[in-house]
Structure 1
Amino acid sequence: MANWNDPRPTGTGFGVSPSLSGAQGRTEVFDAGLRRHMLSIYNYMASGVLLSGVVALLFSMGGPTSLAASVFVNGGPLAWLIILSPLAIVMAMSFGQNKFSTPTLQIMFWGFATLMGLSLSTVLLVYTGASVATTFFATAGAFAGLSLYGYTTKKDLSGMGSFLVMGVIGLLLASVLNMFLKSSGLQWAISFLGVLIFAGLTAYDTQRLKEQYAYVAGTEFAGKAVVLGALSLYLDFINMFQFLLQFMGDRR
Structure 2
Amino acid sequence: MNQYPTMQRTAKAELVNAFMRGVYGWMSAGLALTAVLAYLTLTTPALQQLVFAIDPATNMIAGISSVVWILMFAEIGIVFYLGARISTMNASTATGLFMLYSAMNGLTLAPILAFYTAESIASTFVITAGMFGAMSIYGMVTKKDLTSWGSLLFMGLIGLVLASVVNIFMASSAMSFAISVIGVIIFLGLTAYDTQKLKTMGEMVPEGDAAAIRRGTIMGALTLYLDFINLFIMLLRLMGSRD
Q: 1:42–1:230: 8 Å Cα contact kept in structure 2?
A: yes
1:108 pairs with 2:88: no
Match of 1:3? none
SS at match of 1:73: strand
Match of 1:7? none
SS at match of 1:207: helix
Q: Quick check: 96-105 or 75-84, which moved more?
A: 75-84
Extract unaligned runs of 5+ from structure 1: 1-16
Q: 1:209 aligns with which of 198, 203, 212?
A: 198
Q: Distance in 2 between matches of 1:194 and 1:249?
A: 15
Match of 2:21? 39
Q: Note the alpha carbon deviations across 1:199-218, whole angstroms, 9 max, x for none.
A: 00000101110011222232
1:117 pairs with 2:98: no
CA 1:163–1:145 in 2, change beyond 3 Å: closer, same or farther?
same
- Whichever of the two has the greater Rg, that structure is 1
1:236 Cα deviation (Å)? 0.4
Match of 1:22? 4
Q: Which amino acid aligns with 2:87?
A: N
Q: Distance in 1 between matches of 2:118 and 2:185?
A: 25
Q: Which amino acid aligns with 1:133?
A: A
Q: Distance in 1 between matches of 2:238 and 2:49?
A: 23
1:221 Cα deviation (Å)? 2.8
Q: 1:53 aligns with which of 32, 35, 39?
A: 35
Q: 2:42–2:48: 8 Å Cα contact kept in structure 1?
A: yes
**Superposition pairs of residues 152-167 of structure 1, within 5 angstroms:** 152-167=141-156
Q: Note the alpha carbon deviations across 1:55-91, whole angstroms, 9 max, x for none.
A: 10011105xx563365233544312112222111111
Q: Which amino acid aligns with 1:246?
A: R
Q: 2:164 aligns with which of 175, 193, 199?
A: 175
Extract unaligned runs of 5+ from structure 2: 55-63
Q: TM-score, normalised by structure 1?
A: 0.88
Q: TM-score, normalised by structure 2?
A: 0.91
SS at match of 2:148: helix
Q: Taking CA–CA contacts closer than 8 Å with sequence separation of 6 or more, which of the two structures ends up with the larger relative contact order?
A: 2
Q: Which amino acid aligns with 1:99?
A: T
Q: 1:86–1:115: 8 Å Cα contact kept in structure 2?
A: yes
Q: Distance in 1 between matches of 2:113 and 2:66?
A: 21
1:186 pairs with 2:168: no
Q: Distance in 1 between matches of 2:131 and 2:145?
A: 20
Match of 1:71? 51
Q: Quick check: 154-163 or 65-74, which moved more?
A: 65-74
Q: 1:60–1:66: 8 Å Cα contact kept in structure 2?
A: no
1:115 Cα deviation (Å)? 0.4
Runs of 4+ in 1 over 4 A off after TM superposition: none
Q: 1:237 aligns with which of 228, 232, 236?
A: 228
Q: Note the alpha carbon deviations across 1:5-25, whole angstroms, 9 max, x for none.
A: xxxxxxxxxxxx2xx211111
CA 1:154–1:188 in 2, change beyond 3 Å: closer, same or farther?
same
